[in-house]
Structure 1
Amino acid sequence: MALARLLLLLLLLLLLLLLLGVVMAMASGSGEEDTKVMCAGNACYTFHRAEVGWHGAQERCHLNGGNLAPVRSPSEAEQLRQLLAAGGWPGPAWIGLSLARGHCVQPQEPLRGFGWAAGGEPGDYSAWLAEPAFTCVSARCASLRTAAPSGPAGWADRPCRAPLGAFLCKFSFRGMCGPLPLAGPARVSYTTPFGVRSPRLAVAPFGTLAEVVCEGGPTPVFVLCKGPLEGGGFAWYPSGPLCPVACSHRNGGCQHRCVEVPGEPARCACHAGYFLADDMASCLPEDACHPNPCQGTCLTRPGGFDCVCEAGYTLAPDGRRCLDVDECLDEPCQHECHNTAGSFVCLCRPGYRPAGPGGRHCHDEDECAQPGICPQLCLNIPGSFHCTCLPGYQRQPESGDACLDVDECLRNPCPGHCRNLPGSFECLCPPGFVPEEDGRVCRAAPTDGGKPTGATNSTPRTTGVPRTTSILQTMVTPRTTGAPWSTSILQTLGTPIGVTPPPAPTAVGSAPGMEHGSDGPRLLLYYILGSLVAILLLLAFALALVACRRRAAKQEKRAAKAKNAADNYCWVPEQAENRGAGGERR
């Protein structure tokens, strides 16, 4: 009984597993993609029918080595429109155009601020069927659809999370193999590197595996698109022709001539001036590059030729023209970059000179090294220079940055008279005086035995202010009675009238007379003593006046206390009798 129950449970478990397999198979069959493929140039485009959002579609394309298809030109838009038509789907289908969250729509730009999933420059091509909704906070993605059944394809935006029923992928390759060289009837199945199987391809990308089943053949033949071959290019291996039959059928699969030799299989041959390609079926000109079909350099390869551009140029999408590369986009220069045909030139701002390899760096130029650039002093600064003047001079921009002398005497730097000098000034001292250390104060000349010391060969000291070595000649007033003498000095020092007038003034550095060397200090001493006596007399007078006023105030206060009814009378104090030494009255 227990064994029967165990067997029954095992039978039920097997039935459940069988039903589960059937359900999974049905689900897998219902969700299978309808995929179409089209290859041209160096790229393949695939069309997939599946309900996915934009990010899910991009992930599917990226897992196979591609991206959601960009639409950068009218020709690429037409290829994708044909692919949609081959799949029987008018659209919409996801393409690789999106606006990330946090980015705003830019109405003035061709892509309106959107970007391609494959990266690269946005380009100038635009195919919006309607302006995208303006937003800065939500992600928007673009789809491709046709405005009319036979019209051009255009773009429309929608939320990226909203699912669509189809999407388009693009896969780029280094090269392509041409059609398989089939000499006889056969069935072919291409398996591409991006996992799509197709019964027909005009060209197959590098790495495609082709399964060829010849009509009446026992086993399939596998050929691989490989390369690059010697001289460039890609070709099928092993080479053809495949499924060979007699030359009577399709010319044996040969492009030019089919040759049959008794006892040998049919083979292909070429006309004069051509050679047999690596596929052993097609023929190529002996010099496919003559005349040169390329704008740059032409390289002959099996099955055709390749165009190569010089440095600084890149091959155009048509594979023949060469387009200039704007090297300045990589910012190779320190300051400014100017793009030229096939190259670029680095430029430095004014005040700098090119340096380093290729002149890409800029060093400051020392303009002050040029003679005569400034009238006096030159100060070099980054990218320029600055003219300045020596102490005692001032710049005059209206005179061409000339340096003019400053008249320091206008600021009255001397206690006496001042004489302006080029770039400086000097203070002048009267006779019998010599300048102090600062050159602005005069002191009495020292004497030694009635003669000034150091008066004959004295030299002015340099302390930043030039010294004078002569007296002020304008202070000398000529008299009619004899030699000139300085009336202003005598009157100021209070010299008596009877004093003999001093001799004519001479320079401080000259040798004055003996009486001149002693009169100066004596007159100065008289002046100081007279001033002190006058000040003391004024102070004594002021103190006496204050004491008198205080005494009068005390007497008035005492008299106010002694007032009685006879306020109108004045009391005269009784005078004491004058007595002599013996007490008798005089």
Structure 2
Amino acid sequence: MAAALLLLQLLTLLTAVARGEDAEVLCADTACYTLHRAELGWNAAQERCQHDGGNLAPAGSRDEAERLERLLEASTATSAWIGLRLERGRCVQPQEPLRGFAWASSGEPGNYSAWLAEPHVTCLSTRCVALRPAGPHGPSGWVDRPCRAVMPAFLCKFSFRGMCGPLRLGGPGRVSYETPFRVRSPTLMAAPFGTLAEVVCEGAESPAFSVCKGQLEGDGFAWHPPGPLCPNTCAHRNGGCQQQCLEAPGQPSRCACQPGYVLGPDMTSCLPEDACHSNPCQGACRPLPGGFECVCEAGYILAPDGQHCVDVDECLEGPCRHECHNTAGSFFCSCQPGYQPAGPGGHDCRDEDECTRPDACPQLCLNIPGSFRCTCRAGYQQQPGSDACVDVDECLRDPCPGSCHNIPGSFKCICPPGFFLQEDGYSCLAEPTTGEQLAGTMGTTTILQTTSTTRTVGTPGPPAVPSGLTPPAPTVVGSEHSPEHGADGPRLLLYYILGSLVAILLLLAFALALVACRKRAARQEKQKAKSAADNYCWVPEQPESRSRAGSERR
């Protein structure tokens, strides 16, 4: 019974007519919540709330969520929009309580959430949240829907600087409250600042009015005029009091309660005396024999005064691997760029392999902790200030003995005429040729061939002349695949040609010398073949007749 009366005091659900529509209103603390039956999308519902000075209702705590659930259950609506939305371009964050969604009222995100199912994962479309009441399908909670979807109802919240209690009438009559957000109600357990109360007293010719505006001590508000607005005596319906009606000369009647009861906020009803009746605690109040005890929600600790609650900074214990963000009553973890949440509750972080994305790098991708680095394939180099790869012109280093042809990512060597490329792709080898071909190539030298030689017995002769001359053994002009060796290729080719020319000239000189020696030896052989008489001198023969005549003269 006490719990029912306490609930009646704190939360009052009632139907009102505002601008021709049914609305249910609940005022508590410094805010009023309304439920409107109208089939609208999320944006249209938000515009309706803003038009009256509010926003679609948030549910930042369990107490606030219970108020919205009671409004929705009393309306028999199947679901209603609340002020939770994911903007286009923002992604769902599984590690956060609100999953990346934000309240339309732009308040603190908080750690309270009541998802019936994980929201649709997206970054490209807006998603909005509706409250679904408890029923056969399960408990009450949140579901995300496309913002263009139509819901049968929506919930608004209007915040004020303070509240006034129920207006005291005194005598018989009826009151109608008109709130600043233009909702009319026959009774309110708490009326927001600026509410106009219209009182029609029994037997009165015209209504009386009172406004919630006066500020009391402790930032409270009161009615002006305060009331009672309807004249009354205890003789008439006990002065409107539930238990006792007291009268004093020259003063209006007032209500009182019997021992064990206290006067309710309406100043007419009586409630069982309870130390937790007025809820002196910031959190929950637990009645105890002769007193009470304050209890705080999870994530809070009791302040030294024993009534208020202080937030616990869970981040001081280091529950997160990377970054910890303290929130009211809780906390959430986040990871540094290049990492993704992992582990229970998203407290751990694992490295994200960016190289799995097909567009990470133009050519090669190297994953490193928390990031990645782009590299290029062999034959390419990275363009300064960019990840783009440009082809390297290897021919600028002159790596080939002959000419060089650059191709994307590599190069190709082309050997001079008379040479062919070896399997290594760099070295050039001379093609096999005969002596006559070499002589024809030089254009200035004739290879001499000697078919036979004559040798005198006992006379030493020159060495035999080979039947033909062949060019020196082919010389390989090689090139290592490096700029230093590649630059020596043409020089080695020139050395090879000059060496071949010198060898041919030496062979020709040897042949000529051999021929001259043969001729000289032949002349010497002919001189030895002459007779011994050749060593004497012959006297010329004279006529015989002359000789005889001379002797006769003597």
Which of the five TM-score ranges fits, normalised by the shorter chain? 0.3 to 0.5
Q: TM-score, normalised by structure 2?
A: 0.45
Q: TM-score, normalised by structure 1?
A: 0.42
